[in-house]
Amino acid sequence: MSSSSVHTLKWIMRAGYGARAAIYLVVGGLAFKAALWSGQAEGTKGALAELRATPLGVIALWAIGIGLFAYMVWRIVAGIADVEDHGHDAKGITARGGQITTGIIHGIIGLSVIGLAMGGAGTDDSAQDWTQKIMQMPMGRWLIGAAAAVIAGAGIYYAYKGWSGKYKEHLAASDFTTQVDPVLTAGLVIYGALLALVATSIGFAAFNADPGQAGGLGAALTELRGMTYGRLLMGAAGLGLVAFAFYNFVEAAYRVVPKLSSPDVETLAAKLKSVT
């Protein structure tokens, strides 16, 4: 890969992570605000709709939508070219396939965001809408159950990635990344826990053949609001999503990509290991 291609791909990657960060910053900030003032938590679609109503909101939506397309390009190229050195064994092929899949998903979300910026309602139907449509297909309940399992797996992965510190192997070491490391851990763990709640609701919808039980991120936050100490839990979840947004911002600036970064770059994991 030429030096100009490497430089371009790095900026595409940064734009992609920046767009992800912006989305979760809005969702998390609104959830924290709702916890403080007893409001209703918003999922991704509702949060972006609120963003559109703000000054410069349409411009922000265009930036996020384009950034999500950039993230799609980054993940697809990363999966095909294996720039992160996953390899060609079964584990590596699975990881690379996951990169391509998540890239396509973010591209679809990007389309919805652009549609919202253009004045439409976007194409991002609620979890209940998608569940109802899929459940009407042959083997629909099984497909919904499989989707719940995939989302649960993603939640477990994010929580494990944060708790175990695996993400530190892909971040460049600096005074800044060392200082903010606890925030990154909290963001990943809390985001993983929220994905697990989303997966649980979709799993119940599949088991009971009831699309009304399916819920997305907004429903997961609302469920927390209904528990004992609900406002405290939802506020903590909102701050956790803000921390996850911050993690994505840090990824944008400090991510180490084996085939794109200098081999002399010290990772955060290596620096912390040398200290201990």
Q: What is the pLDDT of residues 30-56, one digit of tens each?
A: 889 888 886 667 777 778 888 888 888
User: Considering the chain, what is the average pLDDT of its residues?
Assistant: 87
Q: Give the whole-angstrom CA distance, residue 113 versus residue 46.
A: 11
Give the chain's length: 276
- Give the span between the Cα atoms of 112 and 214, in whole angstroms: 20
Expressed in angstroms, the distance from the first to the final Cα of the chain is 37
Query: Poorest-confidence range of 13-27, 116-130, 205-219, 241-255?
Result: 116-130
Assign 170 to helix, strand or coil: helix
16, 82, 103, 237 from 11: Cα distances, Å: 9, 17, 16, 30
**0.85 surpassed by pTM:** yes
3-state secondary structure of 229: coil
Alpha helices in the chain (DSSP H): 3-37, 44-52, 57-81, 90-117, 127-135, 140-164, 175-179, 181-208, 217-225, 230-254, 268-275
- Residue 211 is encoded by which pair of tokens? 């699309």
Gap between the Cα atoms of 197 and 187, Å rounded: 16
SS3 of residue 171 by DSSP: strand
Highest mean pLDDT among 127-131, 177-181, 218-222: 177-181
Residue 275 has pLDDT above 80, yes or no: no
Half-sphere exposure of 111 (CA within 13 A, CB side): 9
pLDDT, tens digit (0-9, with 9 covering 90-100), for 94-134: 888 988 988 998 888 888 889 888 876 554 456 677 788 88
Q: Among 33-42, 63-72, 110-119, 223-232, where is mean pLDDT lowest?
A: 33-42
Torsion of CA 157, 105, 220, 233, to 10 degrees: 60
SS3 assignment, position 113 = helix
Residue boundaries of the structural domains of the chain: 3-275
Which pLDDT belongs to residue 108?
86
Whether the CB-CB separation of 214 and 202 falls below 8 Å is answered with: yes
Q: For residues 58 and 70, what is the distance between their CA atoms, to the nearest angstrom?
A: 18
DSSP letters for 263-274:
TTPPBHHHHHHH
- When pLDDT is cut at 50, 70 and 90, the band that residue 1 belongs to is low
